[in-house]
Amino acid sequence: MLEKRFVFGPYVLDPGRGTLLRDGTPLAIGHRAFALLRTLLEADGQVVAKSDLMEAAWPGVFVEESNLSVQVAALRRLLGAPPRGSEWIATTSRIGYRFAGPVTISEGAPDEAADAHAGDAARRPSIAVLPFANLGGDPAQEYFADGVTEDIITALSRFRWFRVASRNSSFAFKGRPVGAKDVAHALGVRYLLEGSVRRSPNAIRISTQLVDATTANPLWADRFDFGGQFDLGEMFAVQDRIAAQVAGAIEPELLRTESALAARRQRRGDPSGWDLVHRGTWYFHQVTRPTHLRARELFREASRIDPGLPEAHLWLARVSAGLAAYGWSDDPAAVLREGVDAGLRAVQLDEQNPYAHYGLAIASVYADRFDQAMRAAERAIECSPSFALGHLVLGMARAFAGDAAGAVAPLQHGLRLDPHDRQNFAWNEILAWAHLFSGDPVRALECATRAMKIRPDWRPALEIAACSHAKLGEREAAHACAEQMDRLEPPPGDALAPLRRRNPDWVAEVDSLLLAARS
């Protein structure tokens, strides 16, 4: 069967696959924006009434007309200006909107679009989000469960290193008792995200499970509780919060799983750049000097054999920052130059990739380029609001630049989005310093304790604990932490070196508190 696709300018809208491509690259587009664009294109240049557009984007749900204006404005920003100026979407006052640009309709076999993007993209992992079950017993709440599912699909689609099945494809299985392997085979994905929504007047509980469809075994499961009373006007904001929380937790689990698989696989012939990147990420997450050095070798090789692969460069930026931060390099200045250059190259190759901006941000922090780091971190969050590392590196950059109070919120939010990252001992330590320097030693001590739970021999966490106890006047506890800290070998590098260089008053305060703790 031939499928209809709409071609305009550099864009291709494929309703069958639920994708919008620009110059062959998939764009992150929400399901409501997709429905509006499709409706406008199908109208063949005719004006579409506002009521018809609202029914297409919010079927069966009453919403204010302002929501339509917001979605159309976002769609215009996504598409930009046509080659000849003006706008793709024209407003007809008091009536509705029409698609004003030239459109060509093409037809082809369903697999033609996929064949055009074969090669390295075929190696990328893939996931489908199945419609969440409504466990509340109220059929009227079915729209809310569907909305949560659709928003999670949109949030996950903003991560560029894996493929997400379209909303239309996933919802084709709604209410059908089909096994995980059969669903995955039909959709061409390796992973499935299943879930349920239970809503009461005062709370919402989301339960989720990530499944490896090749074995039907669960890889990860969690639940998320959201308290409070919600009226209809708040529901879209609540759905956004839920989607960000779930997507923020799922993406790191996918990364860890794929990295471990890549490390175990025995490949024949020469590996691709994508293979090398995934092997390198496994080594990277072990957080030791030998594994970081091995990861850098693999990322360098990936960028050499496939210089157009953004992931090769962004991971090279990340590992370079790690080598400098942990003192695992004999020439940190050269390492950081390589890291910043790699981050800039990753952004150039894929400006919409949140990881690319994070790679640039983390390398820039350790190169004392705090303004550049904060801009890159903010852009990473704009690309994907559920990206934990974007919030964390923003908090780090603010703290190192001297804004301790401004660092607290993004660091806390990043840790909430991904509470299981293997480097959370370092993020908790930075949050502890931010609390201490903004005048809250109680919360500083809480964060230091969390860091020590993750890495019991992490000397910097004992240092901040000793300072916090001293600040609180708890002399015996401060002395005990200082004694334990002094029994440990100092780390080869100082992960807080940029902070110390920028903030001599803070360094003097720490020296004074440690002196009190040791006395």
**pLDDT single digits (tens) 186-204:** 777 889 999 999 887 778 8
In three-state form (DSSP H/G/I as H, E/B as E, the rest C), the secondary structure along 154-167 is HHHHCCCCCEECCH
Residues 128 and 109 in one domain: no
pLDDT band at 39 (very low <50, low <70, confident <90, very high): very high
Residues 358 and 312 in one domain: yes
pLDDT for 115 equals: 40
In three-state form (DSSP H/G/I as H, E/B as E, the rest C), the secondary structure along 382-444 is HHCCCCHHHHHHHHHHHHHHCCHHHHHHHHHHHHHHCCCCCCHHHHHHHHHHHHHHCCCHHHH
User: Structural domain tally of the chain?
Assistant: 4
pLDDT band at 364 (very low <50, low <70, confident <90, very high): very high
pLDDT for 113 equals: 36
pLDDT for 32 equals: 83
Residues 410 and 340 in one domain: yes
Give the tens place of pLDDT for each residue, 225-263. 887 655 545 666 777 788 888 888 888 888 777 777 665
Q: Which of 364, 390, 419 corresponds to the end of one domain? A: 419
Q: Is the pLDDT of residue 344 over 60?
A: yes
Secondary structure class of 52 (helix, strand, coil): helix
Q: What is the mean pLDDT of the chain?
A: 85
Model confidence, pTM? 0.67
pLDDT for 179 equals: 74
pLDDT for 111 equals: 43
pLDDT for 24 equals: 66
Residues 111 and 200 in one domain: no
Q: Is the pLDDT of residue 381 over 50?
A: yes
Residues 473 and 413 in one domain: no
Lowest mean pLDDT among 41-55, 245-259, 311-325, 458-472: 245-259
Residues 109 and 96 in one domain: yes
pLDDT for 148 equals: 87
pLDDT band at 23 (very low <50, low <70, confident <90, very high): low
Domain that holds residue 344: 271-419
pLDDT for 117 equals: 37
Q: Whose CA is closest to 461, among 489, 430, 487?
A: 430
- Give me the residues paired with residue 210 across strands: 193, 220
Q: Is the pLDDT of residue 397 over 90?
A: yes
Q: Is the pLDDT of residue 162 over 50?
A: yes
Residues 257 and 282 in one domain: no
User: CATH number for the domain including 73?
Assistant: 1.10.10.10
| DSSP H stretches of helix in 65-194 | 65-79, 112-116, 142-157, 167-171, 180-187
Q: Is the pLDDT of residue 510 over 60?
A: yes
pLDDT-above-90 percentage for the chain = 44
Residues 196 and 180 in one domain: yes
Report d(CA 117, CA 275) in Å as an integer. 17
Averaged over 78-98, what is the pLDDT? 82
Query: Residue 215 corresponds to which tokens in the numbers above?
Result: 């074995």
Report d(CA 445, CA 323) in Å as an integer. 27
Residues 311 and 445 in one domain: no
Q: Is the pLDDT of residue 16 over 60?
A: yes
User: CATH number for the domain including 326?
Assistant: 1.25.40.10
